[in-house]
Structure 1
Amino acid sequence: MIDYDLELQHHNDVLRRACAIRASDRVLDVGCGTGQTAREAARLATSGSVLGIDRSNEMIERARALAGEAELSNVEYVCADAEGHLLSRESFDVAISRFGTMFFGHPVAAFSNIRNALRPDGRLVMMVWQSRDRNEWATSIERVFTSDEAGSTNAGAVPQAFSLGDPDVVKRLLDSAGFVAPSFDEVNAPVFYGRDVDSAFEFVSAFSTVQEKVARLDVQQCTRAFDRLRQLLAEHQRGDGVWFESRAWIVAARRNPSMRS
């Protein structure tokens, strides 16, 4: 069965290296989902600790169960929103996130809260998608479900998943939130959608974005769209599965030591 962790297997390897977690680090994992990145950080922070936060209680419960199965005692999970949750001040050495920061309703407030939780020399390391037009998985699947009969999307809108794709936008947000010296390292890695077309079709069909588009189609339109989706997936079938190209950033920054919490 395909899940988000398997989909991002190559991205996860890149992020883990970029985070460079030390044995004594106290780590904050923002938007931790079912906890893979937090568990990996906990295995590295052997004399430290990890706090994973996510807005989904279902994911947090799953993360707790998986941490228990892995017998990790130095990781904790809390159902919370990074924007408003009261984090312990100046308690963490590093804040990490794997595609969890693009969905902030009020990004300056959320990043400010994260900055306040970091120690004076603390750092932020997050992975975010680059712009939508640089991500084949997004554009090609969008075209499958967007035709003349289905109506077109608002070309001026920036989907939330790509809200941090512009480095200039991110620099302004981080500066306003009290971070300095942001860097952007490009990640060119494919996403995995399944071992074959059938498993990829089941996985992609369940995407919330796909479900939203399907809801606007009649039966005939839906049938044609799903036929196009199967064809698209077949075109991306390789010997080891169905893969789509993607582009992301590893964004790293440090807390501004001169700014008070």
Structure 2
Amino acid sequence: MEVASDVILALRNITVHLGYSKRRVLSDISFDVYQGERVYVLGPTGAGKTTLLYTIYGVWKPTSGSVHFDSMEITPRKRPPLEKWRRDIGFAFQDYKLLMDRTVIENVTIPLVLRGFAREDVLSFAYKALEVVGMKDRDKDFPSMLSGGEQQLVSLARAISFRPKLLLADEPTAGLDNITSERVLKALEHIRDEYNITMLIATHNVDIAARRATRIIRIEGGKLRVDAYGKGKIPQD
């Protein structure tokens, strides 16, 4: 698949069926994401946002279509080894997926160790990520000692610790109060300023998308309904 040199991620006609019933969750989704963009994927619960991120991350193979990232491609018939595909993709999960028997700093170092970073870089990169999200002083705590918002911040730190080219964040403010949500959103701003990582952020929160996004992709019923630029308003069909 041919893509422009400034396109970091390209989806072409992505359709995804899941489950024994082969229920169609995504239908003919196509868009490009450019280097340095901060894109919010907006849609109600069940719209297909998480499935979209999981397909980009390589959890699901598309039923049809293709995903292109960093000169690699996923199609229904082929997929690069996941460790290669995900080497430059960070993922902040909605349910955090922290290891509860490991400290904050140990959780954040995991992707660095798995990617073979030099020993002298592992701790420095991990502590820098914690500093960016405002959690450096909780490095020795265990996840059970943290609030939901703090666990989300650690999840973000882990996702950016190895300085990926692309960050996927699935509903990073879900279930959080307004004050904590604002803290997480500010952390995302700091990540952008510090690392210039391209971001694809899924949310059902219209207000957050309106205030924070410079580009909004709206998905409903598994279909791309709107792809528009412009901060401060929600584009309509």
TM-score by length of 1: 0.29
Determine which structure has more spread, i.e. the larger CA radius of gyration.
1
TM-score by length of 2: 0.31
Q: Which has the higher helix share?
A: 1
